[in-house]
Amino acid sequence: MRPVARVVIGLALLGYRSSAMSTLHTPLTFRSGLTIANRTVLAPMTNLQSHADGTLSAAELSWLRRRATGGFGLIETCAAYVSTDGKSWPGEIGIHSDEMLAGLTQLASELKTAGAPALVQIFHGGARAAQDLAGHPWSASENDADAAKPRAATEDDIHNTIRAFAAAAVRAKKAGFAGVEIHGAHGYLPCQFLSRVQNTRTDGYGGSYDGRARFLREITRAVRAAVGSDFTVGVRVSLEDFGQSVGMDLDEGLTLATELVQDGAEFIHASLWDCSRMTAKRPESHAITLLRAALPADVRILVAGKIWSRADADKMLALGADAVALGRAAIAYPEWPQHATADDYAPAGPPFTADQLVAADLSPAFVDYMKRWKGFVA
């Protein structure tokens, strides 16, 4: 049976009948008290638009503000590096220093004025950090087979980075953001520790699942302790082995999600890459259904992965997601949430011309970056 057919059957079993049942344009409240006006989220996306020193640029501000005015209920920044040794691409926004606070404060204020609360995605690249920007990369373990040839993390590296994530969350709160999302997905540093392939440590941060999960769990606990209960904290996760997220296991991922909630996360952001697919490990089950069954009802589930039309969004909400995070659709269509009040909204897909993307408030650097995504830019 094809994956899409399984999704349709699953939706039928759940009682999904039509988009008339949709909750897409209803408010959503998090444990922290944050309430967003609707269930659409701007996904955190690499865009290369900030200044070389990590400070906010006019291009970054314009890109995000346009999506806030376009009706997104929640805005996520692109990954913001928590320390300079984790910076992974030029033009990445920083949250590693108090020198970033002026720009971050302006960003949070202008997005709120434009109509949407915002989260900062806090991040460390680990082995995927850019050597010319961050110095020699390090990871959970030494890996000579990796092109970056990262060195193994010392205990000082680990503890300093946990503190850096907590300090970054405090800066986000000082700047006026509604919360943070810890980037634990896509093969970046926390994911490298979680990996059964990349993490070959024999100390307390490796070996068994408990050891491999310890780094991300300690980050989450440190962040929550630093910001208190009135600030939204969540974690983005990769639930299965795909792309750069090597060595991920579905059952470990579900266990991790429940433990991260115990550690202080109030939402889990499942990055699925293609939300129409069932899980590889359990072809009869969808990841969102499994997550919803594993988590308390008041823990919010965000889902991302080729959500393009109103129908795509409604299907994910029917499966148990609380909100949908849009990436490429939000790049091309800044007012997607406003248009998606129509049940049959299904905007045209790529390719898009460079002029179309510039008109959607992408800078030339962002347009050039999107040319790396096959077929997106004409």
Tokens linked to 335: 């007012």
* 324: three-class secondary structure by DSSP: strand
C-alpha dist (Å) from residue 365 to 43, 51, 144: 19, 11, 32
In total, the chain counts a number of residues equal to: 378
| Residue 243 binned pLDDT confidence (cut-offs 50, 70, 90) | confident
17 has pLDDT over 70: no
| Residue 143 binned pLDDT confidence (cut-offs 50, 70, 90) | confident
Q: Spell out the domain ranges in the chain.
A: 3-347, 348-378
User: Do residues 103 and 55 lie in contact, with contact meaning Cβ atoms separated by under 8 Å?
Assistant: yes
Task: Give 82-109 pLDDT, tens digit per residue.
Answer: 999 999 999 999 999 999 999 999 999 9
Task: Give 327-336 pLDDT, tens digit per residue.
Answer: 999 999 999 9
CATH numeric code, 3-347: 3.20.20.70
User: Do residues 172 and 104 lie in contact, with contact meaning Cβ atoms separated by under 8 Å?
Assistant: yes
Q: What is the predicted pLDDT for the residue at 250?
A: 98
* 245: three-class secondary structure by DSSP: strand
**Which one is predicted more confidently, 30 or 17?**
30
Task: Give 162-173 pLDDT, tens digit per residue.
Answer: 999 999 999 999
Q: Tell me the average pLDDT across 281-295.
A: 98
6 has pLDDT over 90: no
User: Do residues 156 and 216 lie in contact, with contact meaning Cβ atoms separated by under 8 Å?
Assistant: no
pTM of the model: 0.94
Task: Give 175-206 pLDDT, tens digit per residue.
Answer: 999 999 999 999 999 999 999 999 999 999 99
Q: What is the predicted pLDDT for the residue at 201?
A: 97
264 has pLDDT over 80: yes
First to last CA, the chain: 34
For the chain, give the percent of residues with pLDDT over 90: 91
Q: What is the predicted pLDDT for the residue at 9?
A: 41
Lowest mean pLDDT among 142-146, 319-323, 336-340, 354-358: 142-146
